[in-house]
Amino acid sequence: MIDLTYRNLESYNQAKEKAKNNPEAFWSEIAANFHWHKKWDTVLEYNFHKPEVKWFIGGQLNITENCLDRHLETQPDQTAILFEPNNPSEAAQHISYKDLHSRVCRVANMLKANGAKKGDRICIYMPMVPELAIAVLACARIGAIHSVVFAGFSAAALAARINDASCSMLLTADGGYRGDKVTPLKDIADEALKKCPTVNCSIVLKRTGQAISWNTKDVWWHEAIEKADDHCPAEIMDSEDPLFILYTSGSTGKPKGMVHTCGGYMVYTAYSFQNVFQYNKGDIYWCTADIGWITGHSYIVYGPLAVGATTLMFEGVPSYPDFDRFWEVCAKHKVNQFYTAPTAIRALEKHPVALVNKHDLSSLKVLGSVGEPINAEAWHWYDDHVGKNKCPIVDTWWQTETGGILITSLAGVTPQKPTYATLPMPGVQAVLLDNDGNELSGEQEGILAIKHPWPSIARTIWGDHERYKNVYFSAYPGYYFPGDGALRDTEGNYRITGRVDDVVIVSGHNLGTAPIENALDEHENIVESAVVGFPHDIKGNALHAFVIPREPVADNETLIAELRTLVANTIGPIAKPDRIQVVSGLPKTRSGKIMRRILRKLAAGEYDQLGDVSTLLNPEVVEEIKRNS
Ligand code: WTA
């Protein structure tokens, strides 16, 4: 195992000092712990105005050699991936580093045999089975750029992502298990591929054995893999070559394909994984995210494997077969570090605590939270009942764009503070800005920004560098602007207060309201719509859609049902609004701009906080919305 960890406050403080005084020396010392075919010539070049960021320039590597090959010498039999299936009666799988290496190489050869090569984009639309992680690593092995699309997305969303990156290959499965449901992945993929001319091969893993249709470009995974041997030299990549694209929602327009590159991403995910979770050799670490999201990329696959950890991969859901599944799995596999999302905690907190207590959770040492602000109630429930007040909780703030955790405590090393993500990692320079972009000092509330690059910052938006500049570097020139607000206490601890743009985080999923409005507007009887978030007990936020019909309808319920289906088909079931309200108009300014601030207050039922509505073009609709809600 590779050790990059600060184990006490003193060494943490030293690291912080060093990173502040000489970031390049700091990061090059960390990067020296990895296997490079050629060492970098220059540590960092950047310009946030352009914007451009490059790390470890001239360095050559393959991330899979760091995640796999080098561990073969020291710990070939250590479990790399511990797979827990959806159905508890199916056996768990312990895949050693040696086995994982061999399976990745075989899949890499299978990809090559089917035409894949360095630089190609390969879309992966698969359930949470080991082959998903193997597929990701196999792409990296041959230098193909993977684009994993979460297996809950619709055919239209999948097609849009495949086409945006002109993927030449799709890796999918017949179906996927999730709780008591089976997702017909192949059917959805078939539907998507009708609109994807660039895909010339689709490799299908058999997981559920369900009936599927078969097309000329389809290849069975189990047949193709037969012909592939397990020797596959790693493609040598430049540090700044793209490793993957991962789509995230924006406040406007289509999803953004964030591009991460090989060298910096590897260094930062490994460094942050080990420090944040204080991983020790032999520990069993479990992150409950899906590999379809950045958390799964960085903290199920790359970060843990880069340091030689054992990473647990779970196919199922927290509620199946019962609401104690997480705790059952923790006890069964003696999990040491457990990393989940506030929405899961809030959902589980509603069930009798006996469901937690019936399992032996004494192996747990560290708990983690990610994806949205964790409210005090959920934090304390997690601390009391899961951690029994003896496990530090790391509340980790970061984003798809940041590649790795930026603000967090380090488990047991730095102080935690409930509902606060606490301090920036050594090497991360966070600041608070006022609306005019002036840095605030001391205890303040403001806009969170980062003023110096860290190695895993996304380098661009695939095919749209201008948008990358506009979204992240234009609002506050000279800073990276993540789109979140925060407050800071006297000790410098940050508490993230939420998005400051039109992205709503629902159950930890980042949803742009604009694409949902576009989907609603597709309905033949909808003229205009507006979607806002409102606070929700379990999901954190839920969506409230206001829709204006072209013609008043006799039966709103039917219209609402059609709209929900439309959103599910266009984006995916996760984007379905909880509430759809049919209205005759939307509150607008005299220049015709929808007053979202007012809609948010209306959706939250905060009628006394609407402010002055008399300057609106149509103040009467506010009354109507209140009456009909
Ligand atoms: C939010 C997930 C508060 C935030 C890794 C961010 C959080 C967005 C936290 C990114 C946290 C994530 N506390 N808010 N610990 N972690 N967020 O791209 O608004 O899916 O901008 O990445 O989630 O979501 P994404």
- pLDDT band per the 50, 70, 90 thresholds, residue 21: very high
d(CA 90, CA 123): 28
- pLDDT band per the 50, 70, 90 thresholds, residue 628: confident
pLDDT in tens, 54-96: 999 999 999 999 999 999 999 999 999 999 999 999 999 999 9
pLDDT (mean) for 451-474 = 97
pLDDT of residue 252: 67
pLDDT (mean) for 623-629 = 91
| CB of residue 99 inside a 6 A radius of ligand 1 | no
pLDDT in tens, 337-364: 999 999 999 999 999 999 999 999 999 9
pLDDT (mean) for 281-308 = 97
Q: Is pLDDT at 390 greater than 80 in this prediction?
A: yes
| CB of residue 507 inside a 6 A radius of ligand 1 | no
pLDDT (mean) for 381-397 = 98
| CB of residue 256 inside a 6 A radius of ligand 1 | no
Residue type at position 478: G
- pLDDT band per the 50, 70, 90 thresholds, residue 191: very high
- Tell me the CA end-to-end span of the chain in Å, nearest whole number: 57
Peptide bond into 51 cis (omega under 30): yes
Ligand 1 centroid vs 550 CA: distance in angstroms?
37
User: Average model confidence (pLDDT) for the chain?
Assistant: 95
Q: Is pLDDT at 147 greater than 80 in this prediction?
A: yes
| CB of residue 396 inside a 6 A radius of ligand 1 | yes
Q: Is pLDDT at 2 greater than 90 in this prediction?
A: no
Q: Is pLDDT at 169 greater than 80 in this prediction?
A: yes
Nearest in space to 493 (alpha carbons), one of 619, 407, 435, 560: 407
Q: Is pLDDT at 250 greater than 80 in this prediction?
A: no
Query: Given 3.40.50.300, 2.40.50.140, 2.60.120.10, 3.40.50.12780, which CATH number is that of 9-486?
Result: 3.40.50.12780
- pLDDT band per the 50, 70, 90 thresholds, residue 397: very high
pLDDT (mean) for 405-413 = 98
Q: How, if at all, do strands 181-183 and 237-238 pair?
A: unpaired
Domain with CATH 3.40.50.12780 in the chain: 9-486
Strand ranges, E, within 415-456: 430-433, 439-440, 444-450
CB 285 within 8 A of CB 54: no
Backbone angles phi, psi at 300, to 5 degrees: -110, -45
| CB of residue 150 inside a 6 A radius of ligand 1 | no
pLDDT (mean) for 371-394 = 96
Cα pseudo-dihedral 559, 562, 563, 564, rounded to 10:
120
- pLDDT band per the 50, 70, 90 thresholds, residue 289: very high
- Across-strand partners of 245? 147, 259
Strand ranges, E, within 141-249: 145-148, 169-173, 176-178, 181-183, 201-205, 218-220, 237-238, 242-248
Give, using CA atoms, the residue closest to atom 22 of ligand 1. Answer: 399
pLDDT of residue 70: 97
Tokens of 144: 């193909």
pLDDT (mean) for 180-207 = 98
Ligand 1 centroid vs 400 CA: distance in angstroms?
8
Q: Is pLDDT at 10 greater than 90 in this prediction?
A: yes
pLDDT in tens, 421-462: 999 999 999 999 998 999 999 999 999 999 999 999 999 999
Nearest in space to 476 (alpha carbons), one of 432, 517, 515: 432
pLDDT of residue 186: 98
Q: Is pLDDT at 615 greater than 80 in this prediction?
A: no
Q: Is pLDDT at 124 greater than 70 in this prediction?
A: yes
Ligand 1 centroid vs 38 CA: distance in angstroms?
35
Domain with CATH 3.30.300.30 in the chain: 507-627
Ligand 1 centroid vs 619 CA: distance in angstroms?
35
pLDDT of residue 421: 98
Q: Is pLDDT at 306 greater than 80 in this prediction?
A: yes
Q: Is pLDDT at 48 greater than 70 in this prediction?
A: yes
| CB of residue 368 inside a 6 A radius of ligand 1 | no
- Which atom from ligand 1 is nearest to the alpha carbon of 396? 15
| CB of residue 120 inside a 6 A radius of ligand 1 | no
Which residue from 258, 496, 539 has its CB within 8 A of the most atoms of ligand 1, so it is best to mutate?
496
| CB of residue 288 inside a 6 A radius of ligand 1 | no
pLDDT (mean) for 93-113 = 98
Q: Is pLDDT at 504 greater than 70 in this prediction?
A: yes
Q: Which CATH class is domain 507-627?
A: alpha beta
Enter the pTM of the model. Answer: 0.93
pLDDT (mean) for 23-38 = 97
- Which atom from ligand 1 is nearest to the alpha carbon of 400? 18
pLDDT of residue 502: 84
Write the CB contacts of 400 (distance below 8 Å, at least 6 apart in sequence).
Answer: 246, 248, 258, 293, 294, 458, 510
Ligand 1 centroid vs 370 CA: distance in angstroms?
7
